[in-house]
Amino acid sequence: MAADDLRPETIAISSGRPPHLAGEGINLPISLNSTFVAGGPISYGRFGNETWHPLEDAISALEEADSTLLFSSGMSAITAVFSLLPHGAPVVASHEGYSGTMSLLKRHHKDGRLEVRFVDITDTKEVISQLQGAAFLWVESPTNPGLGVADVAVIIGEAKKRNLGAGFDNTFATPMNQKPLTFGADVVMHSVTKYLAGHSDVILGSLSVKDPALYARLLDARTSFGATAGPFEAWLALRGIRTFPLRFEKAQSNAAVLAKNLASHSSVSNVRYPGFGAVVSFEIKGDAEAAERVCDGATLIVNATSLGGVESTWERRRRWELESQSIPENLIRLSVGCEHVEDLWADIDTALAKA
Ligand SMILES: *Cc1c(COP(=O)(O)O)cnc(C)c1O
């Protein structure tokens, strides 16, 4: 069976394994080496690492990419993408998105490094009107934390028609729901920290591409900026990715149930759940303090930022100064994990009583 025919559960488990040879371990060892004997494929630890490659191959297979580059974090991966754009290049990007991306883009805009055209990425007409004369489209969908959904295939298609480059942050939806390279994106980024690694114990990022020339430019960016991942983190993420499809499916089905339950709870309003993924945002009928009491009032669910771990977490997003002012003060973002859904609902119900 060609690797192309395999399904995500099988890809995640079988890719990046050593050959089936007598006496060979079924897992690769962790390569803890800063330097290598001259004449081989890797000469120095900032240029490559044997523990990165199986993880990069697994992500490539899941995203239907030709190649993937592992980075020290999701943000260093995004930084590498924007570094390829010429000074002052016009970029179309969502005005609502991951706070780290938002502050990076705002800083580039302020410095004149890029001319960022912030748009409502869910408003297809507005996006298309801003593509005129732009160099690059950056898409995050669903958006964070409002969970708006862009018409992804249409806006990427329109960008490509106009010869723009297109990058996609696929951290929230994951390749279980959408594979942006298959509808024309040039580069797909992951915060591997989240669902792919899945255990809230590493910070890593990745970029996946089809075009070898783009791969070479991004590899050069990674090598020269030194945004290289630690081999142990890569190994943990490879171990994590083995169960990514299982975890994600469980978390996603839990999220659908919890979104429905939340929508009929008397202390809750404006539940946002796009119908896929494992993040649910909702508002508490009350003020910021009431939302904080709810986040502190659960036993299982941890009041913590981030998402994509096996354990459920939630937080009031506006506790972050960087969060967009358009996000309500009483909005809670829930990252649904893999616990039993009835235990989670009982925990949420108890916490909501504290609103
Ligand atoms: C976490 C996150 C990032 C940044 O990734 P890091 O691994 O924290 O650097 C970017 N985009 C989204 C959607 C994220 O959730």
- Tens of pLDDT along 103-122? 999 999 999 999 999 999 99
Q: What is the pTM of this model?
A: 0.96
- The answer, yes or no, to whether residue 3 has pLDDT greater than 80, is no
pLDDT at 4 over 80: no
Rounded to the nearest angstrom, the distance between the alpha carbon of 20 and the centre of ligand 1 is 35
125 is catalytic: no
Domains in the chain: ranges and CATH: 7-241 (3.40.640.10), 244-352 (3.90.1150.10)
Query: What is the pLDDT, as a whole number, of residue 330?
Result: 97
Amino acid at 65: A
Q: What's the gap in Å between 138 CA and the centre of ligand 1?
A: 14
Residue from 117, 179, 194, 250 carrying the catalytic annotation: 194
Distance CA 62, CA 42 (A): 25
**Does residue 277 line the site of ligand 1, with CB under 6 A?**
no
194 noted as active-site residue: yes
40 beta partners: none
Residue 260 banded pLDDT, cuts 50, 70, 90: very high
Residue 185's pLDDT is what? 98
Least confident window among 2-11, 323-332, 334-343: 2-11
Using the CB atoms, write b or e for 203-235: b if 16+ within 10 Å.
Answer: bbbbbbbbeeebbeebbebbeeeebbbbbebbb
Annotation says 66 is catalytic? no
Q: Where does residue 93 rank: exposed (0-12), middle (13-18), buried (19+ CB within 10 A)?
A: buried
* Mean pLDDT value across residues 241-248: 98
Query: Measured from the CA of 140, which atom of ligand 1 is nearest?
Result: 13
- Which pLDDT belongs to residue 130? 98
Nearest to 222 by CA among 37, 121, 84: 84
pLDDT at 1 > cutoff 50: no
Percent of the chain topping pLDDT 70: 99
Ligand 1 pocket member 194 (CB < 6 A): yes
Q: ∠ CA 286-297-147 to the nearest 5 degrees?
A: 60
For residues 90-115, give the mean pLDDT: 96
